Amino acid sequence: MAELPPIPESIRPDLDILFVGINPGAISGQKQLHFGNPHNYFWKGLYESRLIPEPIPPEQGNRLFSEWNMSIVNLVQRTTRSANDLSLREMRESVPELCRKISACVPRIICFVGLGIYKVFAGLSKVEPGLQHETYEYKDHDGLSDPEFKSNLKDESSLAKRGLIFVMPSTSGRTSAYQNPEKLACFKQLKYLRDCVAAGPDPLNIDHAVLASLGPQTRSKYFS
């Protein structure tokens, strides 16, 4: 397909949530909108979980940044008909630039919208949806660095220099392994975490029993 310009991204320090998508699909790239396909569940999930107070279409996606202190970036900027058109090498080569973006906005929560994205980012062979055991260390990235992780969420040090990592299934309508009710459960867990970090920086404020009750079983079992 014809090469399209990257979808504009808005970042600033101290975001509550930074969503990370894999790359723009054909419809999103043509419209220059994040999650622009009408069959994508992303914008519905934000509202149905009450992460945002009213439903909005992709055309109003800038309000996520201007009104609700969240934003969206992509691992790869190039538009393709399908994420399957991306090579593993291209995705891995995009990780340092994503690290720079994350470090520039120091989000309280980094949400990877797609298990495969986080596999590439963290160099893992298997990922479960939900809150991850590791947190992201905020350090300066020169584009040659790999992601920096802290391995234990129960470490009582402040979250001021690290962010929680949450992984949810892709919200694409093509994702058959997870249906919309399961995706909504992940959005509800994310909403709970957003409320927790907004109340204070202590990671122990998170009640993992409550988190587990909101959605599918997650890696929060490691923290009980």
The Cα 187–Cα 55 span in angstroms is 14
Task: Kindly report, residue by residue over 38-79, the tens digit of the pLDDT.
Answer: 999 999 999 999 999 999 999 999 999 999 999 999 999 888
Residue 18 or 147, more confident:
18
Q: Can you give the pTM of this predicted structure?
A: 0.87
Can you read off the two tokens belonging to residue 67?
């009104």
159-192 pLDDT, tens per residue? Answer: 557 899 999 999 998 878 889 999 999 999 999 9
pLDDT at 224 over 70: no
Quote the CA–CA distance of 43 and 65 in Å, as a whole number. Answer: 14
CA distances from 53 to 18, 39, 195 (A): 18, 21, 14
